[in-house]
A and B are shown apart, each in its own frame.
Chain A
Amino acid sequence: MGVEIKVEDLSKSFGKQLIWGDVTLTVPAGEICVMLGPSGTGKSVFLKTLIGLLKPDKGSIIIEGTDIASCSEKELYEIRKLFGVLFQDGAMFGSMNLYDNVAFPLREHTKKSESEIRSIVMEKMDLVGLLGAEDKLPGEISGGMRKRAGLARALVLDPEIVLFDEPDSGLDPVRTAFLNQLIVDLNAQIDATFLIVTHDINTARTVPDNIGLLYHKHLAMFGPREMLLSSEEPVVRQFLNAQRVGPIGMSEEKDADELAAEADQELPPLPPIPMQLEPSNGIPRRSQREPGSWCREHGITPPPGSFEENMTMTTGG
């Protein structure tokens, strides 16, 4: 069963430039969360802060009673054993082949025999569909394969928390769909807490239980998927539906003139909320909620056409 991450009042700046401030959120144990945000809003920085690679300026990150922001180096290395992290480019060790890469954490942290290691590594390689590529060096394979190999390595120590840094960047739509399915299946299988950082709205709309949106140096909103997808909040609405009308501009937020020019423009209606991606074996995940339950509980009518099987996945408008 996964572990909860409690982030309170977190701020980070590089020099004088504030990246984001006062971020407060709780990533619930065992659930899939997506952290969204326009390019350059510090999503990756947020992820690196969560694992203690970067120190926040203030605030706390509590995992199993330990505050990552202020604990000692030794505690940090201990707590990191709970984590599995998939880096943007896989971050495979260039001097080792894929097998040794995936086996690396096992060899460093456990006293398992080579045959035990072999069976675990092969199982994870099979999981990500890389059987037969064990002897390849990271430089010899495609970006997508490197990513999957990175995932295998992140999973090898049976982590309680898995962080994904843009799992879909640089992948074609088919591979992205497979990877998303893999993420959902994995969550059903290992019940770990998943946090995905991405700006792919299709992933954000269909995969997670919760969505967070970083925008303009703060956390604009964090909550259940249906809450954000049915939200009328301009920033959330614009981003999750990939529209040009709204407060987000090409470089950063739009200025007053541009916003005034848009004032009388009719906002396109909210697109229907798609079904959440289900595990491929059909058995619901532990943290999965019934479609539409949040909307019913909070008395919100979802956009027409929501939660219908085989609905179109179009976004934008």
Chain B
Amino acid sequence: MAPLTATRVLRPVGTAGKLFAFGLDVGRGLFRRPFQLREFLQQAWFIASVTIIPTALVAIPFGAVIALQVGGLIKQFGAQSFTGSASVLAVIQQAGPIATALLIAGAGGSAIAADLGARRIREELDAMMVLGIDPIQRLVVPRVLACMLVAVFLNGMVSVVGVAGGYVFNVVLQDGTPGAYLASFTALAQLPDLWIGMLKALVFGFIAAIVAAYKGMNAGGGPKGVGDAVNESVVITFLLLFIVNFVLSTIYLQLVPPKTG
């Protein structure tokens, strides 16, 4: 009984290790020539096309909720002039990368896992390996890079749309003054906030693509296996993203001193 329990307990550790090893393999593949430009562009276009509209639609209420919440709170403190700054900070540092990550994982990642999983059970990946082509280099690396690129662009879009949404709600619903909202941007927010947002998006895109590709390439047991792989890849990605977001935010807040008015 003891070895059985040990196997059960240690299995997640093994899976985590394999996932990490897979990430390293992909990392090594990033620098191996020839680079699959065509596949990269196709994938980037595909991922962008399935994520742009949902992301924009998510970004508006996201920005609005933050504006309403923060705006309400800040009014009680009597610091209305900082509303703009607070919502910019919240959108760029947190909401932008997170919304991006959710969409990349939910729309892009699930598509990658389903695609690779279907190829796996139809023996396409085996056929490719037998033809002397490494699927990691041929299929996974372009997808990972595409995910990272699109994540950074989406992050930019969420930031713009989110801040604009916040502006509209603050000015229209909360009687904020347009000038105060815009002028306070630079009061608390600073340039490194933008960098950390972009870095987060980059890392999230990487993680989402790696998990999706790993799960897809290791799908098994027929069509049901593909469904399970997609499902697991989305759930695992979400969990990982929130943990990584926490870690990155903590490190950032420790390293970069907040701007004082």
Task: Pull 11 A–B residue pairs with CB atoms less than 8 Å apart, ordered by A.
Answer: A77-B134, A78-B132, A83-B130, A89-B122, A91-B122, A91-B127, A92-B127, A93-B128, A94-B118, A105-B131, A150-B127
* Given known contacts A91-B122, A94-B122, A109 and B127 CB-to-CB distance under 8 angstroms: no
- Cβ of A16 to closest chain B Cβ, rounded Å: 11
Closest to A51 in B: B130
Tell me if A222 counts as interface (CB < 8 A to partner B): no
Check B123–A87 contact: CB distance below 8 A: yes
The 4 lowest CB-CB distance pairs between A and B, nearest first, are A91-B127, A91-B123, A81-B132, A80-B132
Check B129–A53 contact: CB distance below 8 A: yes
Which chain A residues (77-102) contact chain B, with CB distance < 8 Å? 77-78, 80-81, 83, 85, 87-89, 91-94
Give CA–CA (A73, B131) in the complex, Å: 14
Per-residue interface assignment for chain A, residues 164 to 208, with 1 indicating a CB less than 8 Å from any chain B CB and 0 otherwise: 000000000000000000000000000000000000000000000
Tell me if A307 counts as interface (CB < 8 A to partner B): no
Q: How many A-B residue pairs have CB under 8 A?
A: 54
Check B123–A104 contact: CB distance below 8 A: no
Taking CB atoms, residues of chain A closer than 8 Å to B126 are 48, 53, 87, 91
Taking CB atoms, residues of chain B closer than 8 Å to A140 are none
- Cβ of A83 to closest chain B Cβ, rounded Å: 6
Tell me if A108 counts as interface (CB < 8 A to partner B): yes
Give CA–CA (A51, B127) in the complex, Å: 10
Tell me if B133 counts as interface (CB < 8 A to partner A): yes
Taking CB atoms, residues of chain A closer than 8 Å to B138 are 108
Give CA–CA (A81, B132) in the complex, Å: 6
Taking CB atoms, residues of chain A closer than 8 Å to B124 are 91-94
Check A108–B129 contact: CB distance below 8 A: no
Check A80–B129 contact: CB distance below 8 A: yes
B residues near A (Cβ < 8 Å) are 118-119, 122-124, 126-134, 138
Taking CB atoms, residues of chain A closer than 8 Å to B122 are 89, 91, 94
Closest to A165 in B: B123
Per-residue interface assignment for chain A, residues 281 to 300, with 1 indicating a CB less than 8 Å from any chain B CB and 0 otherwise: 00000000000000000000
Give CA–CA (A87, B124) in the complex, Å: 9
Give CA–CA (A92, B118) in the complex, Å: 12
Which chain A residues (267-312) contact chain B, with CB distance < 8 Å? none
Check A88–B129 contact: CB distance below 8 A: no
Taking CB atoms, residues of chain B closer than 8 Å to A94 are 118-119, 122, 124
A residues near B (Cβ < 8 Å) are 48, 51, 53, 73, 77-78, 80-81, 83, 85, 87-89, 91-94, 104-105, 108-109, 150, 153, 157
Given known contacts A89-B122, A91-B123, A108-B131, what 7 new A-B pairs fall within 8 Å (CB)? A53-B130, A73-B134, A85-B127, A89-B123, A91-B126, A91-B127, A92-B127
Check A104–B131 contact: CB distance below 8 A: yes
Closest to B125 in A: A91
Give CA–CA (A53, B133) in the complex, Å: 12
- Cβ of A194 to closest chain B Cβ, rounded Å: 15
Taking CB atoms, residues of chain B closer than 8 Å to A87 are 123, 126-127
Check A80–B127 contact: CB distance below 8 A: no
Taking CB atoms, residues of chain B closer than 8 Å to A92 are 124, 127
Give CA–CA (A8, B127) in the complex, Å: 25
Check B132–A88 contact: CB distance below 8 A: no
Taking CB atoms, residues of chain A closer than 8 Å to B123 are 87-89, 91
Taking CB atoms, residues of chain A closer than 8 Å to B134 are 73, 77
Give CA–CA (A80, B124) in the complex, Å: 15
Give CA–CA (A88, B123) in the complex, Å: 9
Give CA–CA (A83, B138) in the complex, Å: 19
Closest to B133 in A: A108
Check B131–A80 contact: CB distance below 8 A: yes
Check B119–A80 contact: CB distance below 8 A: no
Taking CB atoms, residues of chain B closer than 8 Å to A108 are 131-133, 138
Taking CB atoms, residues of chain B closer than 8 Å to A109 are 131-132
Give CA–CA (A53, B130) in the complex, Å: 8
Give CA–CA (A248, B136) in the complex, Å: 43
Taking CB atoms, residues of chain B closer than 8 Å to A53 are 126, 129-130
Check A85–B132 contact: CB distance below 8 A: no
Taking CB atoms, residues of chain B closer than 8 Å to A153 are 127, 131
- Cβ of A224 to closest chain B Cβ, rounded Å: 28
